Structure 1
Amino acid sequence: MTAVLDYQQLKADLSKELPGIEIQAESSFLLALPEDIHHVCQYLVSRPLQMDYLTNLTAADYPEYIEIIFHLNSIVNNTAMTLKTRLTDKTNPKMASVVDIWRGAELQEREIYDLFGVVFENHIGLKRIFLWEGFEGYPLRKDFANGH
């Protein structure tokens, strides 16, 4: 059985370890600002949490923002958690890549780029994975059907 994290305690730990980082704790996830996400991920993969396995990286399009969702696991500690960030600039959504932290993010970031238009800065090879390079638009964005 996977251990359940106390997100309020995790928020307190993060605030102490990473001063200046704004983070919110909900009942089932942490929410970090896009500009802080890389630092938060670096902390989560280190001791004591050791969130060493990125199970899934995905996105969801909401009217006000694009949400990026990380599902993380610690194989050593048998714990799982969810981390989110929200990109409010939907005309130019971008955030730092986490491929340098979890190599498994490479294809998942490319998928989000291809289908939602999120640019992952410092990605090792950001290009479309399903659609061709000349394809216009991002099919999983809510505004795609109206514009095409």
Structure 2
Amino acid sequence: MSLAAAAREAVRAEPFLHRALRAGVVNYRAAAHYLDLDGDPDAVATALRRYADELDSPATDAVDAPVRMQRGVGLADSEEVDDEDVVVAVGDQRLVRGGDMTAVRTAGDVDARALGHTLARLGAASVLVDAAGVAGGELVVVVPNRQGATALRVVEDALGSVPA
């Protein structure tokens, strides 16, 4: 495998670096050292520059979906709950009424890209996510009650700029 091919493969394994290359905000020499490939760092930096030139500039889409917060939810196994208490179910896990967590929910044109971007933004804001998922045009993120308002703001903001 050529050094250029190895550099491209290494970048694809590091999504943050791929996004940075697309955005044009990379110190190529530092990135070459970070990737720690067998080869001259200057040659790796050159390969990264060439790869970045081939990438499309980042674009974003705004997701038009109302976001709402539901306090007083918790996680439980399916054997422990009545069906009327279930808010959301995934496998044997249920998000149920009654608990010390908050669900931030949105319904609309949401998908896995929106969820991934939302989780990254929540992580950057130091919001602890206890559970999250997207299916059937609904996105749900479960956080501790004390972080519910922050999570609501972050989710609303994140959905305004989902990477395309």
Using structure 2 for the length normalisation, give the TM-score.
Answer: 0.20
Structure label with greater radius of gyration: 2
Flag the structure with higher helix content.
Answer: 2
Using structure 1 for the length normalisation, give the TM-score.
Answer: 0.22
